[in-house]
A and B are shown apart, each in its own frame.
Chain A
Amino acid sequence: MSFNDNVRQIYIDQLNEMKNGGIFKEERAICAPQDSEIDVEFPIGSEKKHVINMCANNYLGLSSHPEVVKAAHEGLDVRGYGMSSVRFICGTQDIHKTLEQKLTEFLGTEDTILFPSCMDANGGVFEAVLTDQDVMIADRLVHASIIDGMRLCKAQNDSFKHSDMNHLEQKLQLHQDKRMRLIITDGAFSMDGDLAKLDKIVELAEKYNSMVFLDDSHSSGYIGKTGRGTQEHCGVMGKIDIITTTLGKALGGASGGCVSGRKEIVEMCRQKARPYLFSNTVAPVIVEGALRVLDIISKSTERRDKLEDNTKFWRKGLTDAGFIIKEGETAIVPVMLFNAKLSQDFAKDLYAEGIYAVGFFFPVVPKGQARIRTQLSAAHEMHHLEKALAAFIKVGKKYDILGKTKQEIIDKYGM
């Protein structure tokens, strides 16, 4: 079938349906390196606007750090631009092995394997290590890439209510007949900004003879006293069997991810994980950048400490101003608006005030839980946060939501 008018119309109709349903996504063009202040074209092609960035995963502010950029340049000079091969043919350099070793040391695990992204790590790991004799039991708010990975795996899948340990225990009891059980959770949940009860999860895993899988993408580098992630924060270093994480957020922000954990599991991924087997791995330039990132954050906790201070200031500022935020300790701070249109209008007004933050609503979050998700960075200085807070308060007053309860906001704007 050629791409005739009828075929084209099918796609036009589907795209229009998304537009009419308010779920059509549009990109903004950032005309600067990633940072706390950026120039943005929105819509693309329009006049550039200088704004404070409150929506990047640039938690440690290392995305454009001079030392990281310098290391990446050196990587380019010394090991070239690309590998033109998958890992097991001729796509593995000495620096890939070094980065895997450094990640193993950083995460306190037995071994690590790099993937082109954490999306790929999550997409490939389950199928590589479980069979139809096993069961995966996932928190219901895990990242979409985990759900995709579980769908590719023949093991039975099941789920438990978000962070509900009683429900998880019921599921572990239900699945005692399986060969192996794997509890699956995110460390920091990306939409709510809360942390998994990892200590309780490990306790249940030990009681019911289960393995634990942790996607620590939104925690690695800054959660825990030395930034080792949720496992450090919860005091369970070395007890997590499988950790996936990304180099695309706090750890430099470029791209790449990994599976780290028990050495036999990592070896199974080297033998069987399809995104590892059938795709080039991270480019040398990114490997060298990531190595420098690990070096910087292993030497000093200065950046994660600053991020912690920024996060405390931001959470307190919003709360004192009368906003409803999702409680938590992470640098992800959702400002709850409940109504989808309000979240869009609010984000638009913030942008006019020079603050770049995005509204999220169904189906990305449950119906009636629309919000502006803000994210802090060690690259934010106090004057950025003060300006952002003043803008939030100004827009909050405009919509008369400050100091209002959830019910009052819903009564005014609807779900």
Chain B
Amino acid sequence: MSALKDVILEYVKNEYLEEGDDREVNFDTPLISGGIVDSFSMVSLKVFLETKYNISIPDAKASPEAFDSVNNIIVLLKEFGIE
């Protein structure tokens, strides 16, 4: 579990934090409601998860709430048998 969490957290940091952005991002940090990921660029996170874990996340499940923290994403991935 921790490895999965770490992979996603690492991706989020690399993908969304600009150079010099020293905001602390942890497993509980609100990503979308906290202004780190906007709903538009959230798509790249969805594509990353789908590609890396070979799953297809339907739009209905890819809600801003489901992607709002690394921990929320872990809960979502569980539904697809990824742990």
Chain A residues engaging chain B, CB cutoff 8 angstroms: 140, 147, 150, 156-159, 161-162, 164, 171, 362-363, 366-367
Contact = CB atoms under 8 A, between A and B. Distances in A.
A171 B41 CA distance: 13
A162 B18 contact: yes
Given A362-B35, A366-B35, A367-B35, A159 B18 contact: no
Contacts of B38: 140
Contacts of A367: 35
B44 interface: yes
Interface string B11-24: 00001101100000
Given A147-B40, A158-B44, A161-B15, 4 more contacts: A140-B40, A159-B41, A164-B19, A362-B35
B47 interface: yes
B43 interface: yes
A14 B27 CA distance: 31
A140 B47 CA distance: 16
B40 A159 contact: yes
Q: Which 4 residue pairs are nearest across A and B when measured between Cβ atoms?
A: A159-B41, A367-B35, A147-B40, A158-B44
Contacts of B15: 161
Contacts, number: 27
A161 B13 CA distance: 12
Contacts of A140: 38, 40-41
Contacts of A157: 40, 43
Nearest to A362: B35
A159 B35 contact: no
Given A362-B35, A366-B35, A159 B47 contact: no
B43 A158 contact: yes
A336 to B, nearest CB: 14
B18 A158 contact: no
A102 to B, nearest CB: 34
Given A161-B18, A367-B35, A156 B40 contact: no
A363 B39 CA distance: 12
A171 B47 CA distance: 11
A148 to B, nearest CB: 10
Nearest to A146: B40
B42 to A, nearest CB: 9
Nearest to A135: B47
